[in-house]
Amino acid sequence: MTITTPLDVERIKRDFAILSRDLDGKRLVFLDSAASSQKPESVLAAMDDMYRRHYANVHRGVYRIAEEATAAFEGARAKVARFVGAKSSAEIVFVRNATEAINLVAYSWARANLHAGDAIVLTHMEHHANVVPWQMLAAERDIEIRWIPLTPDYMLDLTKLDETLEGARLLSVSAMSNVLGTINPVRQMVDAAHAHDALALIDACQFVPHVRTDVTEWDADFVAFSAHKMCGPSGIGALWARRELLEAMPPFLGGGEMIRDVRLDGFTTNDVPWKFEAGTPPIVDAVGFGAAVDYLQCLGMDAVRDHEMRLTRYALDALTESFPDTLRIYGPRDVSVRGGAVSFLFDGIHAHDISQVLDEHGVCVRAGHHCAKPLMRQLGVPATSRASFYVYNDEADVDALVAALAMAEQFFAH
């Protein structure tokens, strides 16, 4: 049995310097962590220390600080691997972000294995990062893309899952929607894909920062996520993949680091994961990524999830009670099947205008299509506002959102 210590949000807020910024007398209320999270002092300090004391290129020099840099860089990879339940550090490829991770799979695995007439299965709730790389491939190779639709309560409609997977080579699906908050039944979908001899790629960019993740338990083939949404720096993310897949895949980018030998007539590739890491990697960002994982582990991912479920419940109730007739929420109501990204629209007020008025009150929310235009079309809306929560948000932040929304509604009503 595990005992979960509830998050001490007041203390956590003090770890994030930006949250004490004063915006013309107003407190910064940051509700856009689904786009990118803020960074705690420990991450900033780890990166600062790396630059000030241990910086050198990795896997190259034999001198002491080069050894230190390599140890820190590879240590970060091991932390990330453990954080998502990987069997080995070799299964973690550092990339720029989840988008690049998906593109790596599309360029390396898919272009080596998929041919005209093959099919890929996606869903209507995917981020453009998990749509466009496949559309590019489909156009190049005459590959069919099939879509899993939504139910009226914003879940995936899996009633025809088996039919859709028939003859497909890949299922690529988000673990948690960045618009609706919906958490998808990953294990069930992976099993279905495997039953049809298809591989499964999980876009876990929204999931890993918020819910304990175990890629082995998922039994997935590829998992993509970004550091910047989980308290780490921007510019680094990870592709987890089963080792034998990585070993069989052709390299993606060519250059230094990814080779074992280069001759005038060709090259041989390095071992995994370095085979996929051409050029000098984002060394300090990797160290920041490791520090972010340390920070989240220190809080405890079960405590993080409990906190976000409670706060999301509070927000859904507050929004519904405060604006019963004018506000519509796009996403499941049951917090056990959703994360803390809450999309909504006011009758007759565009999301962009709402966001502008909220900004006047120091409240940061996202307005727009959230890089999910196919989903927006399915919902029949041009844009939504989205408030999203993380470890440093509390009820007072939700109250500030509701108060600012009331003022926005009043502003546009007169």
Partner 1 sequence: MAGLEDLYREIILDHYRSPRNRGELPTPPAHKTEGFNPLCGDEVVVYLDVDPATDTVRDIKIAGQGCSISQASTSMMSGAVKGKTVDEARRLIRAFKALMSIHESKLEGEGDGADLAADLEGVRLGDLEALQGVVKFPVRIKCATLAWNTLQQGLDEIAE
Residue 69 as a binder of partner 1 (CB under 8 A): the answer is no
Q: Does 350 help bind partner 1 (rule: CB under 8 A)? A: yes
User: Binding segment for partner 1 among 4-12, 260-268, 284-292, 346-354 (CB under 8 A)?
Assistant: 346-354
Q: Which residues contact 311 (CB under 8 A, 6 or more apart)?
A: 340, 389, 393, 394, 395, 398
Q: Binding mask 101-130 vs partner 1 (x if CB under 8 A, - otherwise)?
A: ------------------------------
With binding defined as CB under 8 A, does residue 374 bind partner 1? no
Residue 183: name the closest of 203, 199, 163, 200 by CA. 203
Determine which one of 205, 298, 364, 371 is catalytic. 371
Should residue 382 be labelled a site residue for partner 1 when binding is judged by CB under 8 A? yes
Q: Cα separation of 87 and 219, whole Å?
A: 12
Q: How far is the CB of 25 from partner 1 (least distance, A)?
A: 11
* Catalytic residue status for 371: yes
**The residue type at 99:** T
- Give yes or no for a contact between 201 and 105, defined as CB atoms under 8 angstroms apart: yes
Residue 59 is a binding residue for partner 1 (CB under 8 A):
no
Q: Which of residues 21-50 bind partner 1 (CB under 8 A)?
A: 24
Q: Does 309 sit near partner 1 (CB under 8 A)?
A: no
CA–CA distance, 375 with 383 (Å, rounded to integer):
10
Q: Candidates 55, 147, 314, 412: give the one binding partner 1 (CB under 8 A).
A: 412
What is d(CA 190, CA 217) in angstroms, rounded to the nearest whole number? Answer: 10
Q: Give least dist CB 191 to partner 1, A.
A: 36
Give SS3 for 367: strand
Residue with tokens 């049951």: 334
Which of these segments, 194-202, 322-330, 375-383, 389-397, binds partner 1 (CB under 8 A)?
375-383
Distance CA 287, CA 70 (A): 10
Which one, 67 or 360, has the nearer CB to partner 1? 360
Q: Helices in 300-394 by DSSP H: which ranges? A: 301-322, 351-360, 373-379
Q: Does 369 bind partner 1 (CB under 8 A)?
A: yes
Q: Contact with partner 1 (CB under 8 A): which of 50, 104, 202, 351?
A: 351
Q: Which stretch binds partner 1 (CB under 8 A): 148-156, 158-166, 277-285, 352-360?
A: 352-360
Contact flag: residue 55 with partner 1 (CB under 8 A) = no
Contact 58, 69 (CB under 8 A): yes
Q: C-alpha dihedral over 82, 88, 91, 97, to 10 degrees? A: 20
Contact between residue 320 and residue 107 where contact means Cβ atoms under 8 Å apart = no
Q: Which of 301, 360, 374, 399 binds partner 1 (CB under 8 A)?
A: 360
Q: Which residues are catalytic?
A: 371
Interface residues with partner 1 (CB under 8 A) are 24, 350-353, 356-357, 360, 367-369, 373, 376, 382-383, 411-412
